[in-house]
Amino acid sequence: MLRIGIINVTGYMGAEAARILHAHPEVEVVSVTGRSAAGQPLGEVFPHLAPLGLTVEAELTADIDAIVSALPHAASAETLAPYAERGVPIVDLSADFRLRKLEDYERWYGAHPAPHLLANAVFGLPELRRKEIESAKLVAGPGCHSTAGILPLAPAVQHGLIEPDVIVDSKSGISGAGRTLGLKYHFAEANESVAAYALDGHRHLPEIVQELGALSEAPVPKVTFVPHLIPMSRGILVTAYATLRRGTTTEQVRELYASFYESSPFVRVTDAPPSTKQTLGTNNCLLYPTIDEDNSRLIVISALDNLMKGGAGQGVQALNIMFGLPEDAGLRGLALYP
C-alpha cells in the first residue's frame, strides 16, 4: 500500500482527492493537512470524509510515499519545495508547475517561489504525456478548463487538420471556483443565471496554448478562451471551434479522434453530444467532434467532471502512472446518474 499525504484537504480539490484515494485499492491516506482547520477531525470539516478517521494537521506528519497537494498557487510551490528537493513523488494540483517558461508563470501569477523545480516538472495530462509522467517525480495536474480545452483539440492540432486559431468556450459548474466565499457564488445570485467571466484573460489560457503548441511544428496557436459560470455544482462542457484546413468528413474526424485516444482509458468519442451529467463523479472525458460543413469548421464538444478529470481524479491517474499501477486504479466507478 502506498502511503499518501494530502496537503490542504480542506478545499474541494483536496477533499475530492481524499474521497478517491479512500476507495483506491493500492493506497492509504495517512496524513492530511489544512492550515485553518488544523487540529479538527476531518469529519467535522467534511462529514462525508469522516470514515477516513483522520485529523487535519498543520503539516504532514506521517511517513509518506507520495504527496498530493491541493494548495493554491505560490503557497503550493513554497510548501512542496523541500519535499521535491528530497525527491518525494508529488502530484501538485496547483498551477505552480504547469507552465514550462518562467516568464509565462510570472505574467499570469507573479513571482515563482521555486523556479529551480520547473525544469523537472511534467504537465500531468496523461493522454499527451504518459511517458514523461512514468518517470516523473513532480507532476503538475492541469487546470480544469485546460483539460477540457486541450483534449478536444489535440488530435486536430497534431494532425494539422485545423488553422492554428481556435476558440474555447467553456461552461463550468461552480465548484470550479473553490470553496472560498464570494457574492458570485452565493446560491441566490448564481442560481438561475449564467454569465461569462475573466474576459480579460483566464489563467488556464497559457496552459492550453503551451500544450497545443507542443503538438505541432506550426506557429503557436492563437487561442481565445472564455469561461462561463453555470448554475450547477460540478461539470465542465467545452465547445471548441476551429477552421478546417482541408476537406474532411465527420466520419474521418471521428476515426482520427478514436485512434488518437485508443490507449487512453478515460477518453471516449461518443455517438451523440455528451452532457456533463454523464461524467458526474467519474474520471472520463467525453468527446464529440463534428463538422459545420457550410462553414468548414470543426466543432468539438468535451464534457468532464471538473473535480475528477478536471482535477483530483486526473491527479490520481497520474499518481497511478508514476507508481506503475493500473492507470484506472481507484477510478473505475460509473457516473452517478441522474
Which positions are annotated as active-site residues?
144
Compute the least distance from the CB of residue 81 to a second copy, in Å.
Answer: 31
Q: Are 198 and 176 in contact (CB under 8 A)?
A: no
153's grid cell: 483539440
- Nearer Cβ to a second copy, position 15 or 267? 15
Q: Please tell me the distance from the alpha carbon of residue 254 to that of residue 271, in angstroms, as a whole number.
A: 9
66's grid cell: 507520495
81's grid cell: 519545495
Compute the least distance from the CB of residue 103 to a second copy, in Å.
Answer: 15
- Nearer Cβ to a second copy, position 69 or 279? 279
- Nearer Cβ to a second copy, position 111 or 181? 181
Please measure the distance between the N-terminal and C-terminal CA atoms of the chain and give it in whole angstroms. 34
Compute the least distance from the CB of residue 289 to a second copy, in Å.
Answer: 10
Helix (H, G, I), strand (E, B) or coil at 105: helix
For residue 161, count other CB atoms closer than 10 A to its CB: 19
Q: Are 266 and 309 in contact (CB under 8 A)?
A: yes
Q: Please tell me the distance from the alpha carbon of residue 319 to that of residue 252, in angstroms, as a whole number.
A: 34
**What type of residue sits at position 54?**
L
For residue 23, count other CB atoms closer than 10 A to its CB: 11
Compute the least distance from the CB of residue 256 to a second copy, in Å.
Answer: 18
- Nearer Cβ to a second copy, position 84 or 144? 144
